[in-house]
Amino acid sequence: MSLAADEGALRGGVSLRVGAPLVAFVLASLCAVLPILMHSYLPLIDLPNHIARMHIAAHGDGALARYYTSELSLVPNSAVDYLWMVWPFGDDPVVFSKYVMAFYAVSFIGSGMFLARVIHGRWTLWSAAVALIVFNGPFFWGFQNFVVSLPFCLVFLGLWLLLEARGLTLRLAVFFPLALALYLMHFFAFMILAVAVFGREVQVAVTGGGAAPRRLGRLFALMLPFGAPVLWLIYGMVTGPAAAPGSRTEFGSVSERFIGLFSPFTSVNAWGVPPLQVIGYLAGALVGLCLVTLFLRRGPRLEVSPKMVGPLVALGFAALVAPTWLSGVALVHYRVPVVLCAVFFAATQWRGLSPRRAVYLALCIGVLVGLRSVYFEKFTARYDADIRDMLGAMQDLPAGARVFPARGPGMEQDRRFFHVQAYAVTERDAFVPTLFLGTHSVQLKPEWEAYAHPALFAVDLRRILQQDLYPVLPSAQFMSDWQAKYTHVLLLDKDERGVSDDPRLTLERRQGQFSLFRVAPPV
């Protein structure tokens, strides 16, 4: 009877250790995915441009063929492009992107918990706290290919750790194709994995036995799968044409570095929804308090798995030194901190935490995850309604029209509507000058280069109507001779000062805060 009781208690303990993380995963996933699935248009800054690119790839043989060519090739940062190419459930890129971002949300939580399972040999409740950072800075910026690649980065790191005891040859055989695949999905996800792996292998080389040359040789051999794609990239940069966005590289200011380190918790475009940003700050403060317990010697405290010291140190160093701009790519310093935070949740576990305190901690995390989900849904609902108004204002826009997007006075830096004009491409087969170009499958035909900018947002309307007061910038020559270049102006704000009495513009339709004007060609 005693033995039976012991066996029952053992089964109950095992069931709890597995069941509780499973429940946490399901609840966290629901909080993350429901706000994404409830609305068609997601308030992610760059996402409209990515959706427009997919639309051109699928429907570029119509009116848009006048402006763009689309040919998929083996280049990095194309995770979603490759998936779109084989997507079997319709050809609507808006719906497709919604499901892709929902997949990211669930798989990011699952991959963090999987990594913890590999590290600790069991499923952990604490690792489900990665749900706190699902809605992170790169997510809100709409870095679609990057965030979709993040779960694979974490899973591949877990697989690297799983294969540690299986020999050098097997790891090389497995990771030559996996590293290449992640490189094609997104270069920064690939590099972050390489940094974490390098940190682990340096740790093994320093603490392991054997002669130093042999340990260094092993370290060099293990990094070969990551060296080959880098050489491919360098070859392409040297032999290929100059990238359309330019080659700007900057380290950035101290304040930019601090903001980047907080990127796992920021809602960079949530203007008008302050609670969403405040809840992110509270989540960051909670994680910061938990981080402090790493330095305690008694009482409730977090402990880092010894095998993860190297990866965490390497990722922490990379987060500190990552530039703000790298070869024309912006906000590079937003990428590493998100992975560092996810690996931190996976690599740590609590010691000396009483059941009561564990419940309090779980409630705090659960409340923050739930509130962020609620307010993200509110933000998404508002944005979705705005986009529908904008499409209503453009409902009579003819296919092939050339639309200049503009903001009202003083609204140019409103990130919420940075790239919404790209929906004119997706929904109306129109041309806009701010569609992302030069880094993916879609290319602008040479005769239209003077009509476009490879990455700019919608600009203040005064930059075209009052060019004597607001001169055209050298990098924005697409605004010069705008009357001859564009057939319509799409104003994204209610403030129409200087528009109603301008003979060059005629109002065609207004809905909500959006207005479409027809441009009178120059005489």
**Average pLDDT by consecutive 10-residue portion of the chain (523 residues)?**
42 62 96 97 96 90 90 84 90 96 98 98 96 97 97 98 92 96 95 97 89 89 91 72 69 87 88 85 96 94 97 97 87 96 98 94 97 96 97 96 94 92 97 83 90 90 83 76 95 80 91 96 83
How many angstroms separate the Cα of 170 from the Cα of each of 88, 174, 307?
34, 6, 20
Q: In sequence order, what E strands does 129-278 have?
A: none
In angstroms, the CA 107 to CA 29 distance is: 9
* Inter-helix orientation angle 79-86/93-120, to 10°: 120
For the whole model, what pTM was predicted? 0.93
Predicted confidence at residue 16, as pLDDT, reads 56
Predicted confidence at residue 237, as pLDDT, reads 65
- Residues 6 or more apart whose CB falls under 8 angstroms from that of 429 comprise 59, 62, 63, 64, 399, 400
In angstroms, the CA 108 to CA 311 distance is: 19
Q: For 323, how many CA atoms within 13 A lie in the half-sphere containing its CB?
A: 11
Predicted confidence at residue 191, as pLDDT, reads 96
Q: Could you report how far apart the first and last alpha carbons of the chain are, in Å?
A: 100
Predicted confidence at residue 8, as pLDDT, reads 44
Closest CA to 392 of 425, 351, 344, 428: 428
Q: Where are the alpha helices (H) located in 294-334, listed in sequence order? A: 309-321
- Does the CA dihedral 179-225-327-82 come out positive or negative? negative
Predicted confidence at residue 3, as pLDDT, reads 41
Predicted confidence at residue 247, as pLDDT, reads 72
Predicted confidence at residue 243, as pLDDT, reads 61
Q: How many helices (H) and strands (E) does the chain have?
A: 18, 11
Residue 407 sits at φ, ψ, to 5 deg, of -110, 160
| Cα dihedral 404→408→414→415 (10° resolution) | -10
Asked if 365 contacts 129 with a C-beta cutoff of 8 angstroms, the reply is: yes
Instruction: Output DSSP code: residue 322.
Output: -
- Residues 6 or more apart whose CB falls under 8 angstroms from that of 343 comprise 115, 154, 157, 196, 308, 311, 312, 315
Asked if 67 contacts 59 with a C-beta cutoff of 8 angstroms, the reply is: no
Predicted confidence at residue 2, as pLDDT, reads 43
Could you tell me which residues are beta bridge partners of residue 455?
none
Instruction: Output DSSP code: residue 406.
Output: E
In angstroms, the CA 18 to CA 9 distance is: 14
Residue in the block written with tokens 């690996």: 343
Residue 51 sits at φ, ψ, to 5 deg, of -65, -40
Structure tokens at 518: 């027809």
Predicted confidence at residue 438, as pLDDT, reads 64
In angstroms, the CA 506 to CA 519 distance is: 7
3-class secondary structure, 432: coil
